[in-house]
Amino acid sequence: MFFLDTGMSKNKLLLIWPPFLNSNHVSLTVPFLVGSLKDKGFENVEVFDMNVAYWKTLSPYWSFYRLLRRGQGILRRRGLASSPAEKFLGEKMARVLETMETKGMRFLPWSLEAILETFKHDSWFSERKKVRDLVRPLLAREDLAFVGLSINFPDQLFFALMIAHEIKEQRGDRVQVVAGGAQITKNIRQLIENKDVYRLIDFFVIGDGEEPLFQLLTTYPDAKSFPQIPNLYFKDPEKEGAYVSSEKRFVLTPDDFVVPDFQGFDLEVYRDMLPVLGAVGCPWGQCSFCSYAGAQNRRFHAGSPEKTSAIIQGMLKRYGTSTFGFMDNALTSAFMKALAGQFLRDGLRISWSTNINLDRKFADPDFCRLLKDSGLNWVGFGLESVSRRVLGLMNKYHKDLEPEEIKRILTVIRRADIEIGVYIFFGFPTETREEARQTLGFVLENIDLFDYVGMTPFFLEDLTMVFEEPGKYGITEIYAQHKVKLVNKRLTYGFETREGMDREEVRAFCEEALDLLRQAFRKKTLRRAS
Ligand code: B12
Ligand code: SF4
């Protein structure tokens, strides 16, 4: 689209990244949107990283974190990145962030109704005041036309609705609120039916936001254009209290990739790693528990190695950081090979990390060596379980691999000095305690292979195969409310199964597993230090 009229920037946008409490690294989401808006010629945008602004209210943890971060920066500048001292500071920083997360998350309400209730109760006054103090000065600007709320993670929904509440109290409909992000895409059905949400949010964007946001900003207030804007939900002019959706769809392709713009994010505060995308979609896209596969309904489409390398070079030049993290769900081994070759040909001296699917190609030491030579220093993947039965139900990419073979592949990756992070979860419908023990046992026995283990309970979510066909997975009943207290469960469902662990057993197992994993990591750190 080409606009001769420079008046297209007249609708000023404030984009807010609400707190989500546990981020080590700067997010790609908002910088990607901003880079794209500017690339299209829309410059009238400001960004507020409320995540960091909120952390700052959690002093003294914040002061301690900043101290550690400074120490780490000094070591890195002296060429001591990856030294034991630098690693030690990194681990301490992770611990402080974890504590801040626990402190902050302890109280967050879990359901949409519970979040909306908080506006009415005095007990939430101090939290509301904190949010108000942070956003009020930004909302006071008379030329502000739009606030964009990016809601990718469960915790962000709570803060985002609180911000929207402040906007509507302070500015009414003079400021329009547009919300987008993974949490919106996934829960759009629940959100558009809620009458309180209707008062707070004027527009929703599902899926990729670049083109919808640009079109909305450049055509508003022309209501006739709304049905033409892809991925948009807007208020039905004919029916009070209802939204309508445009029929048009926009799906990002690698041709749309731009150099992300980190305006508004203090890169000194986050750990040194800039996020980047190598592809769109997921190369597997078939895991039965995954909402991404269901929500996106798109093919995997890798970018060109040349363009990816050029974007990285652009970021190197603009921001001076040489560590890059691919935010993709997973890159294929074939694309990684092409990328590695490109980075080497372009003479890039960088470190990079990515998520992968566990593929037999990684059992080739020469392949891993090539990846390492190109700067790959970390791979992460969803191991989820090592039980063949459970992996089969989950329909994981590596469902045909026996635990011994998984171990063999991981050993080759680790020998190439590439660090490994894994994610596991417990309580997939019908999973027994024995099966959960098998997975936990595998991780504990092979703890030296892992540099990070992320563990959560299973959550039943909209837009997943398990939710669509619960009977097939042994689920006998689904509730809108959880009966058992689990973390990170906002807008997920409670359920019962015909066999396997119940939710209380899952909660108890996760607590036990977390303790054992922490102990194992502590021992490993001590062993390495001595
Ligand atoms: C990288 C990543 C992480 C990183 C984040 C690092 C960081 N600093 O951002 C880490 C590892 C920390 C992480 C953690 C978690 N993650 Co995660 N993560 C991702 C991942 C793989 C990529 C996100 C990304 O950067 N995408 C690239 C950017 C450019 O695209 P995008 O974020 O989708 O944004 C686009 C649109 O959403 C839209 N949009 C976004 N905001 C806005 C705003 C407006 C106004 C508009 C118009 C549009 C719009 O336009 C954007 C550009 O196209 C996604 C999966 C995926 N592929 O999206 C999961 C994903 C976001 N994560 C998910 C989850 C569940 C988690 C955890 C809760 C897991 C857990 N149980 O611990 C935790 C979060 C914990 C917490 N405290 O909240 C879910 C979110 C589902 C949901 N919200 O209901 C996803 C979708 C994965 C999935 N399949 O379920 N994650
Ligand atoms: S869990 Fe990961 S690999 Fe599986 S479909 Fe979802 S994004 Fe793809």
Instruction: Return mean pLDDT, the chain.
Output: 90
Give the distance from CA 35 to its chain's centroid. Answer: 19
Q: Which residues contact 438 (CB under 8 A, 6 or more apart)?
A: 385, 386, 387, 403
**Tokens representing 469?**
């066909």
- Whole-number Å distance between alpha carbons of 386 and 46: 46
pLDDT for residue 2 is more than 60: no
Note the CATH architecture for domain 377-525: 2-Layer Sandwich (3.30)
Q: What is the pLDDT of residues 228-252, one digit of tens each?
A: 999 999 999 999 999 999 999 999 9
The whole-number pLDDT of residue 4 equals 42
Q: Which of 16-20, 90-94, 257-261, 326-330 has the lowest mean pLDDT?
A: 90-94
Q: What is the pLDDT of residues 492-521, one digit of tens each?
A: 888 999 999 999 999 999 999 999 999 998
Nearest-ligand number for the alpha carbon of 488: 1
Q: What number is the average pLDDT over the span 349-378?
A: 97
Do 310 and 262 meet the contact criterion of CB atoms below 8 Å apart? Answer: no
- Strand (E) positions, 110-259? 144-150, 176-180, 203-205, 232-235, 243-245
The whole-number pLDDT of residue 5 equals 46
DSSP assignments along 251-287, one per residue: ---GGG------TT--TTTS-S-EEE--EES-SS---
Q: How confident is the model at residue 6 (pLDDT cuts 50, 70, 90)?
A: very low
> What 3-state DSSP class applies to 48?
strand
Q: How confident is the model at residue 1 (pLDDT cuts 50, 70, 90)?
A: very low
Q: How confident is the model at residue 486 (pLDDT cuts 50, 70, 90)?
A: low
Q: What is the pLDDT of residues 124-146, one digit of tens each?
A: 778 888 899 999 999 998 899 99
CATH superfamily ID and name for 3-54+112-245: Cobalamin-binding domain (3.40.50.280)
Q: Which residues contact 24 (CB under 8 A, 6 or more apart)?
A: 93, 94, 97, 270, 271
Do 495 and 478 meet the contact criterion of CB atoms below 8 Å apart? Answer: yes
* C-alpha of residue 333 to centroid of ligand 2, in Å: 15
The whole-number pLDDT of residue 102 equals 67
* C-alpha of residue 330 to centroid of ligand 2, in Å: 8
Q: What number is the average pLDDT over the span 177-205?
A: 94
Which residue of 326, 329, 331, 422 sits with most ligand 2 atoms within 8 Å of its CB, as the best mutation to test the pocket? 329
Specify the domain boundaries for CATH 3.30.750.200 within the chain: 377-525
Strand partners, 447: none
- Whole-number Å distance between alpha carbons of 330 and 19: 25
Do 86 and 80 meet the contact criterion of CB atoms below 8 Å apart? Answer: yes
123 vs 415, more confident: 415
Closest-CA residue, ligand 2 atom 8, reads 285
pLDDT for residue 371 is more than 50: yes
Q: What number is the average pLDDT over the span 81-104?
A: 75
**Highest-confidence segment of 2-6, 18-22, 473-477:** 473-477
Closest-CA residue, ligand 1 atom 35, reads 208
pLDDT for residue 7 is more than 60: no
Do 498 and 476 meet the contact criterion of CB atoms below 8 Å apart? Answer: yes
Which residue of 14, 29, 488 sits with most ligand 1 atoms within 8 Å of its CB, as the best mutation to test the pocket? 29
Q: What number is the average pLDDT over the span 364-389?
A: 98
* C-alpha of residue 293 to centroid of ligand 1, in Å: 13
Q: How many CA atoms lie within 13 A of 308 on its CB side?
A: 28
| Single-letter amino acid, residue 95 | R
Specify the domain boundaries for CATH 3.40.50.280 within the chain: 3-54+112-245
